[in-house]
Amino acid sequence: MSISVVVPSTLTNPSCELALASVVSAARTVPDAEVIVVANGPGPRRNPPALADRLVRVVDSHRPGPSAARNVGLRAARHPIVLFTDDDCLVPPTWCADLAAGLRRAGTAAAAAPVDVLPAGPVTAFLNHQRIFHAPALDATRVKFPLTAACAVDRTRTDAVLDERFLEAAGEDAEFGYRIRDGGGEIAWLDVPPVVQLMVETVDQVSQRFLAYGRGCALLFLGGRAAHAMPYAHIFYGDLCTGSPAARRRLRQFRELPDRAAGALFADLELVVEAATLAGYLAGLGEQLGHPLVDLDREALRDGWRRIFDAPDESTVDWADLRPDLALLGGGGEPEPGPNRHRQIGELLRAHAALRALSPESRAILETHGLDPELVRANENARALASSLSGATIAEADRALRAAGVPFGYGMLQLEQALSQAPRSVPVPS
């Protein structure tokens, strides 16, 4: 059985030439495979040589957004096995064959595979270290939803399509997975060589991305996906707006990194993740409810993040070789103080994403939903693993956390706090 590979692309990304060449090369190892490039952006477009390859068909999507483009690709595909990736991803030479074979072995409706990030500096190294683009696990062999940068779908087992509402929000991958599972399908996890995402080194990769993730969570939650509720988000966000050091201490300290300067910068970037996600969630929730919850000036906020973080990297850290050691989690050492970025972040949020007074309806929504039971279980499972993982490698910890159904970043937070005897943090007041 052959495959169709769908790649949505505006054909404007400088990485698309290398990315599409890698996809065509990998597809050529599967007999009768095709590559469908769905062009869905305004010009001027690039014309990478891969578009002229005999395996490639270019089709247009006249609706904006990657979800619409992927749906166009699904409809155009000749084969029942459809693989998705992105136009900034290098796929390994065996990727197409690995995903097709893995999906057949699993016998599931879909399958997800890992996506790493090529470290070009601290921001991309942070995203890669935190495994941000690895699909969230249910257990060792199944995931909640795939990331469409690296997944395979068997259309004989599911008729799910992507939700095209997520234009300024990131959540279409999660909704796609829920639709597959709502229809009785399962999504397998394939431990195969990862796709490698190419990114320009800038804080936008965190700040803008997680602002969109937060907005996506609001859409998912209000659309009936209760696991994406962020109870008491306004309280936690308010703490970040104060610029208090306590807000940073509730998050990851990255004690597993031997270079404490790298750990301090990663801890600051984790603050950006938390602040951007909560700001996006509150903004998205307010828009849907018709009562703004934050005074969000996106451009000014983006520029502020850049002023804080997009300075030349003058460190001596080898961002491609961080050498994490989980044995260091039991140390209790704090990261180097750094330039008080928690205060700068607080000032930035107060200036360009300040909290508004809550309406009774929005307050009720934010304060009456409890913590997701899956997150409570993940917390318990991660802390139960603490002693057994203290001397493990980072890859071993990743596998153990996946088997327990624990997201890597959240699991590492729980391990770090348990092993360092730091006060336990739960993002909801008692």
- DSSP 8-state secondary structure symbol assigned to residue 83: E
**Cα(369)–Cα(309) distance, rounded to whole angstroms?**
34
Looking at the domain assignment, is residue 344 inside a domain? yes
Together in a domain, 223 and 132: no
- Alpha carbons 373 and 392: distance in angstroms, whole number: 28
Q: Which tokens go with 199? A: 């990114």
CA 358 from centre of chain: 29
The separation between the first and the last C-alpha atoms of the chain, rounded to the nearest angstrom, is: 54
pLDDT at residue number 265: 92
For residue 128, give the CATH number of its domain: 3.90.550.10
Q: How far apart are alpha carbons 111 and 411 in whole angstroms? A: 23
Strand 353-355 and strand 89-90: the pairing is unpaired
Do 161 and 272 have their domain in common?
no
Q: Is residue 385 part of a domain?
A: no
pLDDT for position 371: 64
Tell me what pLDDT residue 376 has: 75
| pLDDT at res. 245 | 79
**E strand segments, 223-337:** 294-296
Q: Is residue 414 part of a domain?
A: no
> In terms of residue numbers, what domain contains 150?
3-197
Domain boundary among 173, 197, 221: 197
pLDDT of residue 248: 78
Q: What are the distances in angstroms from CA 9 to CA 12, 91, 133, 317?
A: 8, 15, 19, 34
3 state SS of 151: strand
Q: Is residue 74 part of a domain?
A: yes
Do 139 and 225 reside in the same domain of the chain? no
Q: pLDDT 10s per residue in the chain (430 long)? A: 799 999 999 999 889 999 999 999 999 999 999 999 999 877 668 889 999 999 999 999 988 889 999 999 999 999 999 999 999 999 999 999 999 999 999 999 999 999 999 999 999 999 999 999 999 999 999 999 999 999 999 999 999 999 998 876 688 999 999 999 999 999 999 999 999 999 999 999 999 999 999 999 999 999 989 889 998 899 999 999 998 777 777 888 899 999 988 999 999 999 999 999 999 999 999 998 888 999 999 999 999 999 999 988 778 899 999 999 988 887 655 555 556 788 999 999 999 999 999 888 888 888 876 666 777 777 788 778 877 887 788 999 999 999 988 889 988 988 888 887 644 443 433 2
Domain limit, last residue, from 179, 197, 215: 197
The pLDDT of residue 338 is 58
Q: What is the pLDDT of residue 247?
A: 79
Q: Residue 336: what pLDDT? A: 54
Sorted by sequence, the CB contacts under 8 Å of residue 124 that are 6+ apart come out as 117, 118, 199, 201, 205, 319
Query: Is residue 134 domain-shared with residue 250, that is, in the same domain?
Result: no
Q: SS3 for 236?
A: helix
Quick one: 86 and 32 in the same domain? yes
Q: 191 and 65, same structural domain?
A: yes
Do 136 and 172 share a structural domain? yes
CA distance 100 to 113: 11
Angle (deg, nearest 10), helices 122-129 and 204-222: 40
> 244 and 350: one domain?
yes
Structure-token pair, residue 61: 């999507």
428 within a domain of the structure (yes/no)? no
Under a CB-based contact definition with an 8 Å cutoff, are residues 253 and 188 in contact? Answer: no
Cis? peptide before 194, omega within 30° of 0: no
Q: What is the pLDDT of residue 422?
A: 42
41 shares its domain with 157: yes
Do 7 and 24 fall into the same domain?
yes
How far apart CA 107 and CA 54 sit, in angstroms, is: 30
Whole-number Å distance between alpha carbons of 394 and 379: 18
DSSP characters for 355-379?
A: EPPPPHHHHHHHHSPPPPHHHHHHH
Choose the final residue of a domain: 341, 371, 401: 371
Q: State the CB neighbour count (10 A cutoff) for residue 382.
A: 27
Q: Compute the distance between CA of residue 271 and CA of residue 360 in angstroms, rounded to an integer.
A: 29
Quickly count helices (H) and strands (E) in the chain.
16, 12
For 62, other C-beta atoms within 10 Å of its C-beta total 9
Closest CA to 308 of 349, 274, 258: 349
CA angle 360, 366, 370 (to 5 degrees): 135
Containing H/E element for 188?
strand 187-189
Domain assignment present for residue 399? The answer is: no
- Label the pairing between strands 110-112 and 89-90: unpaired
Q: Are residues 282 and 189 in the same domain?
A: no
Q: How many domains does the chain have?
A: 2
CA-CA distance, 106 to 139, in Å (whole number)? 14
User: Does the residue 162 lie in any domain?
Assistant: yes
Domain-located, residue 274: yes
In the DSSP assignment, the letter for residue 159 is -
160 with 234, same domain: the answer is: no
Closest C-alpha to 387, from 376, 402, 375, 397: 397
pTM of the model: 0.92
Give the ranges where 290-334 is alpha helix by DSSP (H): 298-309
